[in-house]
Structure 1
Amino acid sequence: MAKDILFEIGLEEVPARFIRAAMEQLEDRMSKWLESSRISHSGVTAYATPRRLAVLVKDVAEKQTDISEEVKGPSRKIALDASGEWSKAALGFARSQGVSPEQFTFKELAGVEYIYATKSSAGVETSTLLAQGLLDIVNAMTFPKNMRWGSYDFKFVRPIRWLVALFGKDIIDLEITGVKAGNSSRGHRFLGGETVIAEPAAYVESLRSQHVLADVKERESLILDQIHKLAAEKNWTIAIKEDLLEEVLFLVETPTVLFGTFDPAFLNIPQDVLITSMREHQRYFPVLDTEGKLLPFFVTVRNGNAESLDVIAKGNEKVLRARLSDAKFFYEEDQKLQISDALAKLENIVYHEEMGSIGDKVRRIRKIADLLAAKLNLPANTVSEVSRTADICKFDLVTQMVYEFPELQGTMGEDYARKAGESETVAKAIFEHYQPRFAGDQVPSTDAGAVVSIADKMDTIVGCFSIGIIPTGSQDPYALRRQAAGIVQIVLERQLPISLQDIFAAATEVHENSRNLKHSGEELRNTLYEFFGLRVKRLLSDNVRYDVVDAVIAAGFDDVVNVVARSRALMDAVAGQEDFKITVDSLTRVSNLAAKATEVTIDPELLVEAAEAKLYETWQALHTPYREALASKHAEEALTILSGLKDDVTGFFDSVMVMAEDEKVRANRLALLAGIDADSKIFADFGKLVW
């Protein structure tokens, strides 16, 4: 008869940011242990609160599954010696499998006879395996930070204070760091007490009776329901940020939503400052009106019931008042700082010991941005905006507000620049030059913001690559992959007429002229091209078939807008045109023979066959419009033009012997194919398509 398993690890409060991963890890390790132990069950469910990690396994078999498996050994030729006795290889195989040679059988496989050993093993009682299994699971768990306590060498995320380990109604004989497992759990620290878990299935309800909601999804649903109900009652918009909700979720065991107020006079401070202060310091949800304007209220979640909420609200209001007063002070003090004085302070802040101060970085950003602006042929007024933005883009890093809230860099720069009399475009571009900050974020809306953003990110990437800081595996401490992806995203979404090599050249030129580099600019550009290729490939892979991605990438990705356009056109062609395979086959055949070409010049006088003359004539007519369409990013049109060659290519191969005996004729025909291949290869390597 099947039984349930309950395993709960009771802990001192675990940091909220560690809990979900720990819960999922416990669930995963339990599932894998059951599988490797051949113990059948009907599902593992994980639970977690700030003070516990738990798993409930339903319908666990009381005994391991019996096994009987057949293992292939050496061939008969190797297993038997000349006298027909078992060879050393056969005897060794028998020992390794724990069987006697008499148990061997012979079976034929692919025309060869092999010896086989049949291994049988009867399953043991699950109850005899659980204690060691649970101990192994706990010992194998990993966390971002561990603790040791008492005289124990054992490490865990927080000290273990109680254990519940049940198989059915039976307690599993388990002990960790002097804590012996039982059937008694602990409820809410203030509202509940100890509770006996009569059987695993009663776990959730037993804790509920002690004011603990162990089910994470239930707890989250309750928080959201209460927030939405409050918002409807007050006609508010309560801004729910996912990472804050996640943190609050793992700070409480019995969630109760309440709201408080703050002095409306604080609304004179920029909205982002107030929201950041509430979220980061107090874990409060800001309240907005229907137009998105901040209101003098906040919403928080109490770890407890609904008693005395007015007292709790007043306590939170008092704490928030102090926080907002600090923010108000910082904000007012920062406005006394002149931008020029702030820039001077940047000279004293080390960016990197091999790349100088932040002041040095700003000067490089300015030079790179100016080169990019010239390459983009921006109007004179926009060039001036780019230069000014680059000059002052980092000045807010020395303000008290950004020191207190680093995530407000750019936000405060925009506000302070506007108040200092900078143009609206420059002020906005200071904020935008950090965009996109993360995957899915917006790109800069201004030319100045876009150019300075690329310059800033490219300076960081080139600087790091030049001193050997290159992402490997999961290691990317300077977020270079994200910054490269940001550059690609900006170029693509703003359809900037600039190549990656132009961007690399501008950045490497500035670094070569301002620093002693360990690698030449050419070496850096080659490394950067490969690095950015992976970013472009990942961008395409989100919506494009892998073989189409490989095909267009092989034709080059220096022009990001172009490669995306080509990938979309090729995807449509592959999916929507049944006869497109004929085009692909034709171009692939052309490519295979073109590889043998030694001449690049075509002599029309040597095109003696009608089919080759016709192919040459068609290609000449299509060559220029095809190249122009591709240069204009009209990839679909270019592919249609290129497909117009397929009939003549087919006719050519049907009627013409490419490898003619006459050397000049042969070379001329190969040159013709090479010319067509050169055109097709700037669109894609069609041979990489998979049908």
Structure 2
Amino acid sequence: MTKNYLLEIGLEEMPAHVVTNSVNQLAQKTAKFLKENRISFSNIEKYSTPRRLAIIIKDIAEKQTDIDVKAKGPSKKIAQDADGNWTKAAQGFARGQGMTPDDIFFEDLKGTEYAYIQKHEDGKKVEDVLTDITEVIKSLTFPTRMHWASYDFEYIRPIHWLVSLLNNEEVPLQILDIKSGRMTRGHRFLGEDVEIDEATNYVEKLRSQFVIVDAKERKDLISNQIETIANDKDWVIDVDPDLLEEVNNLVEFPTTFYGSFDKKYLEIPEEVLITSMKDNQRYFYVRNHEGKLEPYFIGVRNGNSEHIENVIQGNEKVLVARLEDADFFYKEDQKKSIADYVNKLKTVNFHVKIGTMYEKMARVHQIAEHLAKLFGLSDTETTDVLRASDIYKFDLVTSMVDEFPELQGVMGEKYASLMGEDDAVAAAVKEHYMPISAEGDLPASKVGATLAIADKIDSLVTFYAVDLIPSGSNDPYALRRQAYGIVRILDKYQWSLNLNDLQDYLKANLTVPEKLDLSAHVKDINQFMVDRVRQLLGTTEVRNDIVDAVTAGSTIDPIMMIDTAKVLQAHVLDDDFKSVVEALGRVVNLSKKAKFGYSDDLKLDESLFENPSESTLNDQVKTIISADETDAEALYGELASLKPAIDSYFDENMIMAKDEKIKNNRLTQLVIANHLIAKLGDLSKIVVK
């Protein structure tokens, strides 16, 4: 016979963003707890509101499954003395298993006999096991925690009640001074405390007290109510899934309503209106069928429809106050020039250890000018990116961005256009922040993309210069996201950027205070960027061993690494791929025997050649080197063509010859060849079968 078990954790209102994750954790950790305790069940139903996390374990077994255990003890020579009597070790072993020495038997294990006891363990009743589920409750993790009263215990919010029912029987639990029972709490304003008589009546009992505990049911109800309003009014509503999730976790009994505001506020940029409604007030904004914003909004009340007119008026009043502020800021900001705002940036710190935002823009101007040449931007595009680099942070000191920080860049574009800047410059002011998340949108223009890379490179090298380096999960300045953004932008535009050459340029040319040591972490920055290339390749179909190979090569150019990985992946099914990689890999491995590395002045003495294969390989390698091929596909083809020469070379020549000069000359030849092969990567890391 199976039963159903209800567990409810009653809390003060939780932040909306933790509710779903927390109930998912509760279900997952409970499932693990039951499995570890040999309790079978069919499934776990999840319920949540801002004030509760709950689960119902369906068809939970009445007891643990019985098990037979064979416990291993000491060796026979320790378990018995010379006369065959049980030693204290054997007696302690038996006692620890709840048995007597008479239950001991011996079995051979790798040539040694050991004492064993076979015992049968009856499973505990499920209610006895469930008393330990408090450990699951305590184990939940949260982004922030708090403690209350005089307790050291911390949780997302104070726990106020617990419900623990196995069918209709209470299973006693206690956390701090909170003892479980069958009483739960209804809606804070509309409902009352209610007794749960049986676990499976939980949902309906709370529904009677104006609490819909099924999150999906609440969400569907909100969506349907929004759809009804939209159909009645002939509106188009963008039901953002993240906003819907947040609103859903703010209410226990949702009632959707709509309000309005004066049309005059539509003169404010719609991004400001949407931010005021969506981000600040958690309203859904309204458009007409032509896509234009309408002076209405849809909100969700935590309650029923009684006195909804008062709720609407209150929400309209709050929104209008925000829109009045926004309208004032919008008009006031336009009374100053961009030059006024740029000048104010001289007093705004980018970081106290690095300098001001004005100084950062000056550095970014230098970097952007260099990148514009590398990326082949036109004269017009170069002019635009340099102008954008001179002003692109100006909106940070506007009143609008001070009130709505999430609009940085957005308002910069709006104000730049209003103040006469070219469209490309204005767009770049917004696009330089992109991507704003790991997989966010990338800049749509070359001007914006160049400025975005320049800005991110400056952040990367200056934070490293003052030893503010990401470690573990600690990355307060989002340098991983910014570096990954650089790689993604380079990949989108197929722009080559040699990281070694770039850092050499920055060290030699970038104007920075003496306290910023741009030479301190060159290798660290290179590796940091290579790790971001690995991250990008991890989203593709490229094999892990190929990723390992290309990111371990001599090329420190993200695009070359990405393209090479894709080329190698495209050739893995070629009939000769295995033989080509093995031949090139043999060069790589044997070159490691040299006690010297590659340098530009490394010379090969052709007079020491003893076999034609040495000359053949040398001539072909020199031809490829002189071509200086940067296309990954072409380079792979040229290196693959070396296979016959490499095979002949190893057939005819003993690399580790007794003659030291000949040995070193052959190792020199392999080191030079390996330097060429390393442009593809460390091919010895590729697994071929």
The alignment's TM-score, normalised by the length of structure 2, stands at 0.89
Correspondence 1:684 to 2:681: yes
User: Within 5 Å, which residues of 2 pair with 1:477-556?
Assistant: 477-508=476-507, 513-517=512-516, 520-543=517-540, 544-556=542-554
User: Within 5 Å, which residues of 2 pair with 1:81-120?
Assistant: 102-118=102-118, 120=120
Aligned residue in 2 for 1:48: 48
Q: Please give the secondary structure, in 2, of the residue aligned with 1:514.
A: coil
Task: Write the deviation string for residues 616-654 of structure 1: whole angstroms up to 9, x where unpaired.
Answer: 5665666655x42xx1x3x23332332233344445545
User: Within 5 Å, which residues of 2 pair with 1:587-606?
Assistant: 587-596=584-593
User: How far did 1:273 drift?
Assistant: 0.7
Moved more, 178-187 or 198-207: 178-187
User: Hey, what's the Cα distance between the residues in 2 that align with 1:275 and 1:189?
Assistant: 30
Correspondence 1:181 to 2:173: no
Instruction: Tell me which amino acid in the other structure corresponds to 1:540.
Output: L
Instruction: Tell me which amino acid in the other structure corresponds to 1:514.
Output: P
User: Hey, what's the Cα distance between the residues in 2 that align with 1:79 and 1:176?
Assistant: 45
User: Hey, what's the Cα distance between the residues in 2 that align with 1:265 and 1:112?
Assistant: 91
**Conserved in 1, the CA contact under 8 Å of 2:462 and 2:518?**
no
In 2 relative to 1, CA 179–596 (structure 1 residues): closer, same or farther, beyond 3 Å? Answer: closer
User: Hey, what's the Cα distance between the residues in 1 that align with 2:5 and 2:509?
Assistant: 64
User: Within 5 Å, which residues of 2 pair with 1:234-313?
Assistant: 234-290=233-289, 292-306=291-305, 312-313=311-312
Instruction: Tell me which amino acid in the other structure corresponds to 1:138.
Output: I
In 2 relative to 1, CA 498–176 (structure 1 residues): closer, same or farther, beyond 3 Å? Answer: closer
Aligned residue in 1 for 2:599: none
Instruction: Tell me which amino acid in the other structure corresponds to 2:550.
Output: V
Task: Write the deviation string for residues 10-49 of structure 1: whole angstroms up to 9, x where unpaired.
Answer: 2332221221232223223322332333332222222110
User: Within 5 Å, which residues of 2 pair with 1:23-422?
Assistant: 23-73=23-73, 102-118=102-118, 120-131=120-131, 133-150=132-149, 154-176=153-175, 178-231=177-230, 234-290=233-289, 292-306=291-305, 312-376=311-375, 378-422=377-421
User: How far did 1:193 drift?
Assistant: 3.6
**Conserved in 2, the CA contact under 8 Å of 1:204 and 1:214?**
yes
Instruction: Tell me which amino acid in the other structure corresponds to 1:337.
Output: K
**Conserved in 2, the CA contact under 8 Å of 1:372 and 1:506?**
no
Task: Write the deviation string for residues 388-421 of structure 1: whole angstroms up to 9, x where unpaired.
Answer: 2122111111111111110100111111111112
User: Hey, what's the Cα distance between the residues in 2 that align with 1:234 and 1:602?
Assistant: 83
Instruction: Tell me which amino acid in the other structure corresponds to 1:345.
Output: K
Aligned residue in 2 for 1:572: 570
User: Hey, what's the Cα distance between the residues in 2 that align with 1:189 and 1:208?
Assistant: 13
Correspondence 1:639 to 2:640: no
User: How far did 1:505 drift?
Assistant: 4.0
**Conserved in 2, the CA contact under 8 Å of 1:385 and 1:426?**
yes
User: How far did 1:508 drift?
Assistant: 4.9
**Conserved in 1, the CA contact under 8 Å of 2:47 and 2:54?**
yes
Instruction: Tell me which amino acid in the other structure corresponds to 1:678.
Output: H
User: Hey, what's the Cα distance between the residues in 1 that align with 2:494 and 2:248?
Assistant: 42
Q: Please give the secondary structure, in 2, of the residue aligned with 1:166.
A: strand
Gapped regions of structure 1 (runs ≥ 5): none
User: Hey, what's the Cα distance between the residues in 2 that align with 1:650 and 1:334?
Assistant: 73
Instruction: Tell me which amino acid in the other structure corresponds to 1:531.
Output: F
User: Hey, what's the Cα distance between the residues in 2 that align with 1:267 and 1:55?
Assistant: 46
Aligned residue in 2 for 1:441: 440
In 2 relative to 1, CA 590–91 (structure 1 residues): closer, same or farther, beyond 3 Å? Answer: farther
Aligned length: 682
**Conserved in 1, the CA contact under 8 Å of 2:384 and 2:425?**
yes
Q: Please give the secondary structure, in 2, of the residue aligned with 1:296.
A: strand
In 2 relative to 1, CA 682–90 (structure 1 residues): closer, same or farther, beyond 3 Å? Answer: farther
Q: Please give the secondary structure, in 2, of the residue aligned with 1:523.
A: coil
Instruction: Tell me which amino acid in the other structure corresponds to 2:543.
Output: R
User: How far did 1:272 drift?
Assistant: 0.6
In 2 relative to 1, CA 13–674 (structure 1 residues): closer, same or farther, beyond 3 Å? Answer: closer
**Conserved in 2, the CA contact under 8 Å of 1:11 and 1:52?**
yes
User: How far did 1:328 drift?
Assistant: 0.8
The alignment's TM-score, normalised by the length of structure 1, stands at 0.89
User: Hey, what's the Cα distance between the residues in 1 that align with 2:684 and 2:557?
Assistant: 21
User: Hey, what's the Cα distance between the residues in 1 that align with 2:99 and 2:567?
Assistant: 62
User: Hey, what's the Cα distance between the residues in 2 that align with 1:357 and 1:45?
Assistant: 54
User: Hey, what's the Cα distance between the residues in 2 that align with 1:587 and 1:83?
Assistant: 69
User: How far did 1:82 drift?
Assistant: 7.2
User: Hey, what's the Cα distance between the residues in 1 that align with 2:415 and 2:226?
Assistant: 34
Correspondence 1:450 to 2:434: no
User: Hey, what's the Cα distance between the residues in 2 that align with 1:616 and 1:366?
Assistant: 45
In 2 relative to 1, CA 662–111 (structure 1 residues): closer, same or farther, beyond 3 Å? Answer: same
**Conserved in 2, the CA contact under 8 Å of 1:463 and 1:511?**
no
**Conserved in 1, the CA contact under 8 Å of 2:145 and 2:157?**
yes
Aligned residue in 2 for 1:559: 557
**Conserved in 2, the CA contact under 8 Å of 1:455 and 1:507?**
no
Moved more, 102-111 or 554-563: 102-111
User: Hey, what's the Cα distance between the residues in 1 that align with 2:660 and 2:504?
Assistant: 44
Moved more, 89-98 or 281-290: 89-98
Instruction: Tell me which amino acid in the other structure corresponds to 1:254.
Output: F
User: Within 5 Å, which residues of 2 pair with 1:452-467?
Assistant: 452-467=451-466
**Conserved in 1, the CA contact under 8 Å of 2:555 and 2:678?**
no
Instruction: Tell me which amino acid in the other structure corresponds to 1:199.
Output: E
**Conserved in 2, the CA contact under 8 Å of 1:533 and 1:557?**
no
User: Hey, what's the Cα distance between the residues in 2 that align with 1:120 and 1:468?
Assistant: 61
User: Hey, what's the Cα distance between the residues in 2 that align with 1:410 and 1:489?
Assistant: 20
**Conserved in 2, the CA contact under 8 Å of 1:552 and 1:567?**
yes
**Conserved in 2, the CA contact under 8 Å of 1:186 and 1:194?**
yes
**Conserved in 2, the CA contact under 8 Å of 1:342 and 1:395?**
yes
**Conserved in 1, the CA contact under 8 Å of 2:186 and 2:206?**
yes
User: How far did 1:550 drift?
Assistant: 0.3
User: Hey, what's the Cα distance between the residues in 1 that align with 2:111 and 2:330?
Assistant: 84
Give percent identity, aligned residues only: 44
In 2 relative to 1, CA 229–624 (structure 1 residues): closer, same or farther, beyond 3 Å? Answer: farther
User: Hey, what's the Cα distance between the residues in 1 that align with 2:612 and 2:25?
Assistant: 71
Q: Please give the secondary structure, in 2, of the residue aligned with 1:577.
A: coil
**Conserved in 2, the CA contact under 8 Å of 1:458 and 1:504?**
no
Instruction: Tell me which amino acid in the other structure corresponds to 1:567.
Output: A
In 2 relative to 1, CA 81–654 (structure 1 residues): closer, same or farther, beyond 3 Å? Answer: farther
Task: Write the deviation string for residues 549-604 of structure 1: whole angstroms up to 9, x where unpaired.
Answer: 10111114521111110011111212x32431122222222333333457965566
Task: Write the deviation string for residues 335-362 of structure 1: whole angstroms up to 9, x where unpaired.
Answer: 1122222223223333332223323333
User: Hey, what's the Cα distance between the residues in 2 that align with 1:511 and 1:89?
Assistant: 74
User: Hey, what's the Cα distance between the residues in 2 that align with 1:567 and 1:91?
Assistant: 64
**Conserved in 2, the CA contact under 8 Å of 1:164 and 1:181?**
yes
**Conserved in 2, the CA contact under 8 Å of 1:509 and 1:521?**
no
**Conserved in 1, the CA contact under 8 Å of 2:384 and 2:447?**
yes
User: How far did 1:216 drift?
Assistant: 1.7
Instruction: Tell me which amino acid in the other structure corresponds to 1:642.
Output: L
Task: Write the deviation string for residues 494-522 of structure 1: whole angstroms up to 9, x where unpaired.
Answer: 222322234434555577742313xx433
**Conserved in 1, the CA contact under 8 Å of 2:465 and 2:520?**
no
Task: Write the deviation string for residues 356-376 of structure 1: whole angstroms up to 9, x where unpaired.
Answer: 332333333333333433544
In 2 relative to 1, CA 476–618 (structure 1 residues): closer, same or farther, beyond 3 Å? Answer: closer
User: How far did 1:108 drift?
Assistant: 3.5
User: How far did 1:264 drift?
Assistant: 2.1
Instruction: Tell me which amino acid in the other structure corresponds to 1:537.
Output: R
Moved more, 145-154 or 57-66: 145-154
